[in-house]
Structure 1
Amino acid sequence: MALFKRGKTWWVDFTTPAGERVRETSGSRDRNQAQEYHDKLKAEAWRVFKLGDRPDHTWDEAAHRWLLEKKHLRSYKNTKVVIAWWHQHFRGKLLRDITRETIQIALDTKAGIWAPGTIKRNLEILGAILHRAADEWEWLDRVPKRPQAPKVQRRIRWLTPAEMQRLLQHLPEATAEMARFALATGLRRNNVLRLEWSQVDTARRVCWIYGDQAKAGKDIHVSLNETALAVLERQRGKHERFVFVGKRGKPQTQIYAEGWRAALKAAGIENFRWHDLRHTWASWLAQEGTPLHVLQEMGGWADYGMVLRYAHLSPERFATHASVVDQKMNVTISAQPGA
């Protein structure tokens, strides 16, 4: 059977001259396109077996196959965006023609525009595709060298309580409520936007984020303080399913940049992003002496190194440990002659 359907997608199925079975999705709902993909794979298998020839593959084929194999990734949508950007530069190009130079030329188009973290992320995804093409699919003899990703400086920006009050006063009411809840819980933007009543238990003063919704892929259990509970109480009855809604009573799907920027300007706050509300929450806790391992669990960070960014905000937590040296020194001094 050369072609068969699974759901709405056509799959190819054939045996190579070497006796190996090829059974994979064509990624297409169009039978003619699937047949073309089947014929191409079969012709390549014949050339490899009879002529010992490794066929040339294009960036388009590699990107397409990568996306087919990575549909299970939680970051799939973001990965598609990155691949689409590289596709602007490598469309139709043979994989063996992708070099350090051609990669750098592509990156130069974003010089002074992209932050180091964005460059690093784009290079990582490109590298992953090229490595798979060489190591798994055997489409390349070697992985081309790539420009070195710039070092990412971890950015921490947080608000003082006075700045927070000014910002909340100037935000639209619905946005202010979400910002207030983010500051009270440390939850990321999407977790606030998509929070459902089924994830909230005000009697137990908790809410939770499921693992498939969390960046680290693990459930997050949030203790609700009085501020968070008050926000939830004001949202009750506005929507049957979702906690936060917009002006027309429909679920809030995004934070509108215009209103956010206008509020920041009116409040006299610069260089501040929505995600910095989470940094503010963590910074306030660290300043009040919350142990970093507790902060890690509360914020749902998978990597302890991410929490260490806040260590410098609570140097007082080392005071008790530092005093141990006092005790040793005092013993030593008292034991000296004439002490």
Structure 2
Amino acid sequence: MQSNLKAVKRILGHRKVVNIKEETIQFYQNQRLQEGVSNATVNRECQLLGQSLNSIAYPKYIPRRIKIRKLSETNIRTDFFEPDEIKAVIGFLPEYLQDYVRFAHITGWRRNEISSLQWEDVPIQHKIIRLNPENSKTGESRILVLTGELLELIKRREQMSHVNCPYVFHRRGEFIRDFRKAWAKATESAGHSGRVFHSLRRSSVRDMIRAGVHERVAMSVSGHRTRSIFDRYNITAEDDIRQALAQTQMYREKAICEQPNDTK
């Protein structure tokens, strides 16, 4: 959140709260767009600004709630991993990152949420994981049920745990911090150079939707709060379109065959 407010402080920090109005927000939006920032980023920044003003300044300092015009967003995410692609990348990763990436691909969790996951958050006897709200970007706790490959992964991590290390995922008993070089090397070796780690989050969400998981359930797993962000990840691939057209054709052909013959 702090990173999203840096630009706000830089551009509007000298203004008094009582002087911030809708036109002030529009001025801020134009300034950020001139700096080359995307519409989506400006929207996130203004969303935080509006929430702060409406929850803290209203009605003590401002007479009415600030209404912010949302900019249109067309920056649809397209860099996804197919299951076989991420399997290839994992094969080129150092051992300490392999389960880390598998977990990210299964759950769609953010990097910091995975790195900060501790054993006290994983009561294996109850087969659940509770994300500490202090480590969640949204400030809210989440629950994962341990089953299938996720349960196997956590059991494997338990066998690889270190004494005096509270973290589920670690590097020789230490907190996992920056692994950009290892990630870049693995993606390049697997033939997917340029893919970012966050692509795992997008891929996880899309795969859940493809598998028929209800979007609300998928959002509760990955930690998405708004559908606007969620929808940007649910991109329809060419294979999805091909399957949709094929299914429609089959339906129509079946409907024609089931029509009664004209005996007149």
Residue 261 of structure 1: aligned partner: 184
Q: Is contact 1:211-1:220 (8 Å) kept? A: no
Letter in 1 for 2:153: A
Aligned match of 2:148 in 221, 225, 239?
Answer: 225
3-state SS in 2 of match to 1:207 = strand
For 1:311 and 1:115, locate their aligned partners in 2 and report how far apart those are by CA, in whole Å.
Answer: 19
User: 1:283-308 deviations in whole A, cap 9, x for unaligned?
Assistant: 44444x33335545544555567379
3-state SS in 1 of match to 2:6 = helix
Residue 161 of structure 2: aligned partner: 236
- Provide structure 2 residue ranges, at least 5 long, that are not aligned to the other structure: none
Residue 198 of structure 1: aligned partner: 120
Offset at residue 194 of structure 1 (A): 1.5
Q: Is contact 1:206-1:221 (8 Å) kept? A: yes
For 1:146 and 1:188, locate their aligned partners in 2 and report how far apart those are by CA, in whole Å.
Answer: 28
CA gap of 1:86–1:256, structure 2 versus 1, over 3 A, is same
Letter in 2 for 1:151: E
Residue 169 of structure 1: aligned partner: 91
For 1:197 and 1:264, locate their aligned partners in 2 and report how far apart those are by CA, in whole Å.
Answer: 29
* Identity percentage of aligned residues: 17
Q: Is contact 2:143-2:221 (8 Å) kept? A: yes
For 2:244 and 2:130, locate their aligned partners in 1 and report how far apart those are by CA, in whole Å.
Answer: 29
Matches within 5 A, 1:1-339: 78=1, 80-94=2-16, 96=19, 99=24, 102-104=27-29, 106-108=31-33, 110-111=35-36, 114-129=37-52, 135-139=58-62, 149-202=71-124, 205-210=127-132, 213-214=135-136, 215=138, 217-226=140-149, 228-229=153-154, 231-237=156-162, 239-247=164-172, 249-252=173-176, 254-287=177-210, 289-293=211-215, 295-296=218-219, 298-301=221-224, 306=230, 310=234, 312=236, 333-334=259-260, 336-337=262-263
Offset at residue 129 of structure 1 (A): 4.6
For 2:55 and 2:154, locate their aligned partners in 1 and report how far apart those are by CA, in whole Å.
Answer: 48
Q: Is contact 2:188-2:194 (8 Å) kept? A: no
Q: Is contact 2:121-2:130 (8 Å) kept? A: yes
Letter in 1 for 2:160: Q
Letter in 2 for 1:124: Q
For 2:139 and 2:74, locate their aligned partners in 1 and report how far apart those are by CA, in whole Å.
Answer: 20
Offset at residue 125 of structure 1 (A): 2.7
Letter in 2 for 1:250: E
User: 1:159-191 deviations in whole A, cap 9, x for unaligned?
Assistant: 234422332233333233311222234333222
Q: Is contact 2:128-2:143 (8 Å) kept? A: no
Letter in 1 for 2:31: A
For 1:134 and 1:299, locate their aligned partners in 2 and report how far apart those are by CA, in whole Å.
Answer: 32
Letter in 2 for 1:334: P
Which structure shows the bigger proportion of residues in strand conformation?
1
TM-score by length of structure 2 reads 0.70
Q: Is contact 2:90-2:101 (8 Å) kept? A: yes
Q: Is contact 2:205-2:234 (8 Å) kept? A: yes
- Provide structure 1 residue ranges, at least 5 long, that are not aligned to the other structure: 1-77
3-state SS in 2 of match to 1:241 = coil
For 2:186 and 2:96, locate their aligned partners in 1 and report how far apart those are by CA, in whole Å.
Answer: 13
Offset at residue 324 of structure 1 (A): 7.7
Offset at residue 193 of structure 1 (A): 1.0
Moved more, 173-182 or 150-159: 150-159
User: 1:205-247 deviations in whole A, cap 9, x for unaligned?
Assistant: 5433255655483532233433524641453235442212224
For 1:312 and 1:130, locate their aligned partners in 2 and report how far apart those are by CA, in whole Å.
Answer: 37
TM-score by length of structure 1 reads 0.57
Letter in 2 for 1:195: L
For 2:55 and 2:205, locate their aligned partners in 1 and report how far apart those are by CA, in whole Å.
Answer: 38
Higher relative contact order (CA 8 A, sep 6+): 2
Q: Is contact 1:119-1:150 (8 Å) kept? A: no
Q: Is contact 1:208-1:222 (8 Å) kept? A: no
Q: Is contact 1:159-1:280 (8 Å) kept? A: yes
Letter in 2 for 1:222: V
Aligned residues: CA RMSD? 4.2
For 2:247 and 2:167, locate their aligned partners in 1 and report how far apart those are by CA, in whole Å.
Answer: 46
